[in-house]
Amino acid sequence: MTDRDVSAWLDELSADETFRSHPLFAQLQLLAEKYTKLVRRLDKISKISDSFQVQLKELNGALQLAALTDALCGLPNRRAMIDCIRKERNRSARNGRTFCLIMGDIDRFKQVNDTFGHEAGDDVLVATSATLRQHLRGYDVCSRWGGEEFLILLPETTLDGGIQTAKKLCEAVASQRITIANPVPGGSFRPAKCVDGEAARAQTSEEVVPRSLRFVTGTEIAITMSLGVSVFDHSQSIDACIREADRTLYAAKATGGNCCRHGALAETPDDAPGDDGA
């Protein structure tokens, strides 16, 4: 019986003179009021308690999300990526289709940090994350694997498809223009004023700004990325597939960067080797 039911019942009894004049009616009224209060209080306690449980659940969800997301780039982190790869491996075993991993690493990232400071390095990471994400399919997964390393999962993709995607990403990263929030750390940097990358390089103070960093305008730079592609083979482990992507990435780095390589170490056509050590 709800508190309203009790009130209605009591009103009904009160309307009847026989009940109203009964010697126990006043006590009955008191009892009904206490019961009403008790029911209302129970509802209130349940409501508050439920709210605390929901709040706890929401906080847990936020915590879990934070544990699986890279705070700077907003991409899945290493732990989340390993989960995704495991799921894809199981899916691949069921449907018989293969998938690819691409390991990408920003070339000469240390020089960005050393030249402009870590804030600028963060700008580069955030911008590059967005560029990679923009050039992938909705169901591809791009994670921040380590410092300036990104691991990309391409579900249901052959090696050829993986290579094409890696080339596309390589070009997209090289053509992006990244705004540096604070381009003059300590006033040691003289920015170039032209738009052309090569000309900018020529106009930039070589001893202060490494020539591998191309300045497009006074506050914008262009960077490059090296990428290694591996295709998952059911005879190998996930770790082995990641190692293969890593190994081919370093093969790309060894040729100067700004290019992609795949498992067979064959050079991909139309790639553009970098100008110095990556």
Based on the shown chain and the rule CB under 8 A, indicate whether residue 90 belongs to the binding site for other proteins. Answer: no
How many residues bind other proteins (CB under 8 A)? The answer is 13
Q: Given CA atoms 25, 31, 32, 34 in this order, what sign does their dihedral have?
A: positive
Tokens for 36?
């009403």
Based on the shown chain and the rule CB under 8 A, indicate whether residue 28 belongs to the binding site for other proteins. Answer: no
Instruction: State the Cα–Cα distance between residues 174 and 147, nearest whole angstrom.
Output: 19
Cβ(166)–Cβ(260) below 8 Å: yes
Place of tokens 């170490």: 265
Based on the shown chain and the rule CB under 8 A, indicate whether residue 30 belongs to the binding site for other proteins. Answer: no
Helix (H, G, I), strand (E, B) or coil at 94: helix
Contact region for other proteins (CB under 8 A) — 42-50, 88-96, 124-132, 200-208? 42-50
Phi, psi of 142 (to 5 degrees): -115, 120
Q: Given CA atoms 29, 35, 41, 47 in this order, what sign does their dihedral have?
A: negative
Phi, psi of 199 (to 5 degrees): -65, -40
| CB of 63 vs other proteins, minimal distance in Å | 14
Based on the shown chain and the rule CB under 8 A, indicate whether residue 54 belongs to the binding site for other proteins. Answer: yes
Based on the shown chain and the rule CB under 8 A, indicate whether residue 48 belongs to the binding site for other proteins. Answer: yes
| CB of 76 vs other proteins, minimal distance in Å | 25
| CB of 37 vs other proteins, minimal distance in Å | 10
4, 44, 86, 168: which one binds other proteins (CB under 8 A): 44
Based on the shown chain and the rule CB under 8 A, indicate whether residue 4 belongs to the binding site for other proteins. Answer: no
5, 12, 58, 239: which one binds other proteins (CB under 8 A): 58
Based on the shown chain and the rule CB under 8 A, indicate whether residue 47 belongs to the binding site for other proteins. Answer: yes
Torsion angle, CA of 211/214/219/223, rounded to 10 degrees?
Answer: -120
Based on the shown chain and the rule CB under 8 A, indicate whether residue 60 belongs to the binding site for other proteins. Answer: no
Instruction: State the Cα–Cα distance between residues 116 and 205, nearest whole angstrom.
Output: 14
11, 17, 21, 52: which one binds other proteins (CB under 8 A): 52
Based on the shown chain and the rule CB under 8 A, indicate whether residue 43 belongs to the binding site for other proteins. Answer: no
Residues that bind other proteins (CB under 8 A): 41, 44-49, 51-52, 54-56, 58
